[in-house]
Amino acid sequence: MSKSEDTEKSEHTEKVEQMEKKGQYDVLHRLSNTLASRRNADPESSYTAQLFAGGPDSILKKIGEECAELIMAGKEGKRLKIVWESTDVVYHLMVLLAFYGLGAEDVLQELRRREGISGIDEKKSRGAGHHHKKAKDDHK
């Protein structure tokens, strides 16, 4: 293992330990950490690494495909299929977040911010056609 891989592994381990102490180590956080660890993996050995190697267009195309499959499952009304397709959508959204250096906690933080706010009021607060800006917008 190279020195940089060893450093990445120890940083990953440290993050996991910190999250376990906070009691926040759930499946979305674990997935975020796993995806981040695949960022520089060999595309021959990892589907996630293949998506990363394809860049945002590859990831976005896959999100579109999975959303179309979810729509079809929703039209069919088959609950298990809706769960399967929703899981695929969530996974691929998480890949996109990881591509831009974001993770589950960023989305969960935004959900917490919006909790208890009417959807109409929240949209008005962003202004017509403008998206809410966060500190992490510099990851473009």
Instruction: Please report, as a single letter, which amino acid is at residue 122.
Output: E
What pLDDT shows up at residue 124? 78
What pLDDT shows up at residue 87? 97
Q: What is the pTM of this model?
A: 0.70
Task: Walk me through the domains of the chain, giving residue ranges and CATH numbers.
Answer: 9-113 (1.10.287.1080)
How far apart are alpha carbons 11 and 17 in whole angstroms? 10
What pLDDT shows up at residue 82? 98
What pLDDT shows up at residue 83? 98
pLDDT of 4 > 60? The answer is no
Looking up tokens 């997935």, which residue turns up? 31
Reported as a single tens digit per residue, the pLDDT across 86-109 is 999 999 999 999 999 999 999 999
pLDDT of 139 > 90? The answer is no
Supply the mean pLDDT for the chain: 83
> 3-state DSSP call for residue 44?
coil
What pLDDT shows up at residue 140? 42
Phi, psi of 49 (to 5 degrees): -65, -35
Instruction: Please list, in sequence order, all residues whose beta carbon lies within 8 angstroms of the beta carbon of residue 101, skipping any fewer than 6 positions away.
Output: 136, 139
How far apart are alpha carbons 49 and 37 in whole angstroms? 10
How far apart are alpha carbons 92 and 88 in whole angstroms? 6
Reported as a single tens digit per residue, the pLDDT across 10-57 is 676 676 666 565 555 689 999 999 999 999 999 999 999 999 999 999
How far apart are alpha carbons 88 and 67 in whole angstroms? 9
Reported as a single tens digit per residue, the pLDDT across 53-84 is 999 999 999 999 999 999 999 999 999 999 99
Looking up tokens 């959508």, which residue turns up? 89
Phi, psi of 84 (to 5 degrees): -60, -50
Nearest CA-CA partner of 94 in 83, 81, 105, 85: 105
What pLDDT shows up at residue 21? 59
